[in-house]
Amino acid sequence: MKVLYFTGTGNSRFVAERTAKNTNSELIDLKPQIKAGIPQPVDDEDLVFVAPTYAWKLPSVVTEWIEKADLSGAKRAWFIMTCGDSIGNACQYNRELTLKKGLEYMGTGIIVMPENYIAMFDAPVTAEARRIVTKSIPDMDKLIADLKAGEKFPPVRVKLAQFLLTGLINPALGKLFIRGEAFDVEDDCIGCGKCVERCPMNNISLVDGKPEWGNGCIHCMACICYCPQKAIQYGTATKTRERYTFEGIGYGKEK
């Protein structure tokens, strides 16, 4: 079994690492491959994809990676999606994607993690973020038990509103709200280039020592949340919002 993951601010990495460790599986970070634009072949029969939920679907870059990658040696695929609240009707799209690749769809698991989409929402304070992660552990353990047994994840019940969120609102958000040019940098920027390194889309470049964003942004929040100076803003929405990274909450290091 191989556990393949994509993460923006660390939630999905934590879930993937815990899943791989407890199933004795190889862990593969998809971000370097996505950044390089070269999917690597995967020859294991069982694949587990772990990714955040972007507007009630898999991130488009993860979908594109799966579509392009040589998975001819694989037979079954599970999905684990992290979210702040709901994954909408993502299960249907995951099933269709899996069947398109000639794999058996083994279900989609949902893990609620701390909110990190600070372009629209407030991130929880550290104590609350840790509580949310702790609450998610039993759900992770149930999914891990299914993986170890080679069983399908339990089906997810999808309400009408969730069909609409994924089918109608997701495309609208992509066209109207997800804009790289809305990011800006303040004078506190030190030109360290960490935002350039973190961006999975190669969408940020340093110009005269300051970052500039292109039009290929997917709103992973890595640039704004990992900025050591907190110098990056998304319009005016983030000026009063705390940044969130999984490492930043110090989970497992509580005193």
Q: Give the pLDDT confidence score for residue 169 in this predicted structure.
A: 66
pLDDT digits (tens, 9 = 90+) for 1-31: 999 999 999 999 999 999 999 999 999 999 9
> 179-234, what's its fold?
Alpha-Beta Plaits (3.30.70)
- CA angle in degrees (0–180, nearest 5) for 241-246-251: 115
Cα pseudo-dihedral 196, 252, 81, 160, rounded to 10: -120
In angstroms, rounded to a whole number, what is the distance separating the alpha carbons of residues 243 and 53? 18
CATH 3.40.50.360 in the chain, residue ranges: 2-172
pLDDT at 41 over 80: yes
Arithmetic mean of pLDDT over the chain:
92
pLDDT over 90 for what percent of the chain?
Answer: 83
Q: Is the pLDDT of residue 255 over 60?
A: no
CA-CA distance, 7 to 113, in Å (whole number)? 12
Intervals of CATH 3.30.70.20 along the chain: 179-234
In the structure, what pLDDT confidence band is assigned to residue 157 with cuts at 50, 70 and 90?
Answer: confident
At 165 the pLDDT is: 61
Stronger pLDDT, 141 or 157, i.e. the higher one = 141
Q: pLDDT (tens digit, 9 = 90+) per residue, 135-153?
A: 999 999 999 999 999 999 9
> Would you state the pLDDT for residue 88?
85
* pLDDT-wise least confident of 4-8, 54-58, 130-134: 54-58
- b/e code 127-160 from CB counts within 10 Å (16+ = b): eebbebbeebeeebeebbebbeeeeebeebebee
Of 127, 158, 157, 153, nearest in space to 140 by CA? 153
CA-nearest of 136, 127, 126 to 85 is 136
**What are the start-end ranges of the H helices in the chain?**
11-23, 31-36, 60-68, 90-100, 126-149, 160-164, 170-176, 194-198, 222-226
C-alpha atoms less than 13 angstroms from C-alpha of 204 in its C-beta half-sphere: 29
- At 190-247, the pLDDT tens digits run 999 999 999 999 999 999 999 999 999 999 999 999 999 999 999 998 999 999 999 9
Fold classified for 2-172: Rossmann fold (3.40.50)
Bridge partners, 80 (sequence order): 50, 109
pLDDT bin (cut points 50, 70, 90) of residue 170 is low
